Structure 1
C-alpha cells in the first residue's frame, strides 16, 4: 500500500466504498467468530459505522465510553438509541475523571503530537525524542515549531495523556475482560498520522500479526463528504449537536486545534453550555487554570476565549 493507492481508493464512488466496508466488516466478524463490537462515540462517523455493521450483523453490540467530557447531546443520543431504539449499547466509564487527568498529567492543548513533544522537552530533556523535537538531533520526524517552544517554560504541563486515560485504557480493559475486538470509525483523511498508519497497515482489518492490535477500520478510505452523503441517503438520525453548529464532536473541552481561527468549539460550548464551560475552565494543573493556559495558546495566533473577546464597534 502506498499514498497513490490510498488516493485511488478515496476517489471511489460512495457505492463502491459501502460495498468495500461491508466486505471488511463481514470478514472481521467471520474470522473472529462474532467476538467483536463497535467502538461507538455517538458522533456522525461512528453512527454511519454502526449502521453499516448492523447491516452485516443486526445484533452487533456497540460500546460507548462516557468520559465525563462529552456533549450532553451526544450522551442523550446514545441513551436514546439504547433505550428507545433498542440498540445493544453498553456504556463504560474511565477510572479517572477529566479534572483528575488534567491535574495529574497536563492539559490537552495545541495538538496531539505537539503536546507529547512539549512534555518530553520539559520533563525528559535528555531523551532522544526531546532532542529531535528541539532540532538537536538530525531526523526526518516532526520538529517542534518555534512559536510553541516557550510553552516548555510555563508552570503548567501540556500533555497528550488525556485521550489515553479517558478513552483508550477503558476500552483496552473492556477488550481484555470480554475477549472481544473493536470495529472503529477512523478515517485516513482525518490526520497525517492516521493516513500513515493506514498505508503501513495496508488493509482495513488488522489481525494481530507482528504484535499489532487486532482491530477493524472499515471507514479508512472514506472522506467527510461520503459520511454526510451516507447520512442523507439512509436518512440516519444523528446527534443534535451537529444541528447546533458543531463541526466535529469528540471530547467537549479538548484543546487540540482550538488555536485555529475556524475552530468554533469553545464558542459553541460557551453559548450552549455556559455552566459547563465555566466549570471546565477552572480545572487546574500545577496551580494554573485551564482558562489561563488556553488564553496563552490562543494568544499565539491573536485569538481570545469567547467570554474574553474585546468589544468592537459592532457589539
Structure 2
C-alpha cells in the first residue's frame, strides 16, 4: 500500500519519493533513466509532480519488443533516444552471447550514459535479492562521477501498479498479456519467458540466428561442442539456466 501505518506514524510512500527527488536535485537537473517499463513511467511522473528539473533518456538496445517501442512513440515523445554505436546483434558475433553470469550487454546498452550526473532510476528492493542492499542514494561503483537516486526503492510491485492506476498513467500493453517485466528480447534473465518470446517474434528469432551464424563462423574452439549455429542458439535459448562448464567461458575471450 502507498499509505501505511508504521510504529512511527503514517507513511505516505508517494510523498516520501517526491521528497527524495527534491532533496537530491542537482543544479543542472536530473538524468532520468527511462526504459518504458512500469517503474520508469512511475518515476517520470513523480519527477513531474516534484517539480524538479530533469531530462528523460532512453538507452536504445535495438532488441526491445516492438510493442514497447510503439508505446513510447505514442505516449513519450519527449524522451531523448540515446542510440548505441552498433546494434546489439552486430556486437554479439564480436563478443559472444550473453549469459546470466556474463551480461556484457547491460553495461554496453542499458546502463550507458549519465556520467557526471545524478541519475534517477526505478530500482526497487522488491525486484530481486541482489537489489535488497541498494539505497535511495548511492554512487555508481563503475563510474564514481555518477550518482544514483532511487526514489521508489522501498515500493512493492503492488505499490507501483496502484500508483499507475490511480493516476491513469498509460503503460505498455504487454503487461496486460501476462508479462511481469519488459526488457530486451531473449534476455538471459527472462527464463522460460524467452521461449514464449521466440514463438511470438519469429522475425527476431531469424535475426538472432543470423548473428549466431556469424559467431559460429569465427571457429572458436569453445563452439565445437555444437554441430552448427542453430543448435548453439537453441541451447542458449533453452538451457542457459543450467550449469555452465569452464570451456564455455572461452566464448568471451
- Shorter-chain TM-score category? 0.7 to 0.9
1:221 pairs with 2:154: yes
Return the alpha-carbon distance in structure 2 between the equivalents of residues 65 and 207 of structure 1.
20
1:20 pairs with 2:20: no
CA contact 1:246–1:265 (8 Å) conserved in 2: no
CA contact 2:136–2:150 (8 Å) conserved in 1: yes
CA contact 2:42–2:164 (8 Å) conserved in 1: yes
Return the alpha-carbon distance in structure 2 between the equivalents of residues 10 and 98 of structure 1.
46
| Gap runs ≥5 in structure 1 | 1-7, 116-158, 301-315
1:278 pairs with 2:206: yes
CA contact 1:189–1:195 (8 Å) conserved in 2: yes
Aligned residues: 224
CA contact 2:29–2:54 (8 Å) conserved in 1: no
Cα distance change on mapping 1:252 and 1:52 into 2, 3 Å: same
**What's the CA shift string for 1:57-114, capped at 9, x where partnerless?**
276321011110101111112122234xxxx3101111122123322222223x2xxx
Indicate the structure with greater helix content: 1
Return the alpha-carbon distance in structure 2 between the equivalents of residues 91 and 186 of structure 1.
20
Alignment of 1:192-231 (within 5 A): 192-196=129-133, 198=134, 203-206=135-138, 211=144, 213-231=146-164
Return the alpha-carbon distance in structure 2 between the equivalents of residues 103 and 38 of structure 1.
31
Runs of 4+ in 1 over 6 A off after TM superposition: 8-15
**What's the CA shift string for 1:155-192, capped at 9, x where partnerless?**
xxxx32111111223x2xxx34xx53210111122122
Cα distance change on mapping 1:14 and 1:265 into 2, 3 Å: farther
Cα distance change on mapping 1:9 and 1:207 into 2, 3 Å: farther
Return the alpha-carbon distance in structure 1 between the equivalents of residues 237 and 6 of structure 2.
36
**What's the CA shift string for 1:202-228, capped at 9, x where partnerless?**
x4123689x473121111111111111
SS of equivalent to 1:221? coil
| Gap runs ≥5 in structure 2 | 218-228, 244-253
- 2:123 aligns with one of 150, 171, 186: 186
Cα distance change on mapping 1:257 and 1:13 into 2, 3 Å: farther
CA RMSD, Structure 1 to Structure 2 (Å)? 3.2
Q: Which residue of structure 2 aligns with residue 79 of structure 1?
A: 73
**What's the CA shift string for 1:137-172, capped at 9, x where partnerless?**
xxxxxxxxxxxxxxxxxxxxxx32111111223x2x
Task: Give the TM-score of the pair, scaled to structure 2.
Answer: 0.76
Return the alpha-carbon distance in structure 1 between the equivalents of residues 7 and 64 of structure 2.
33
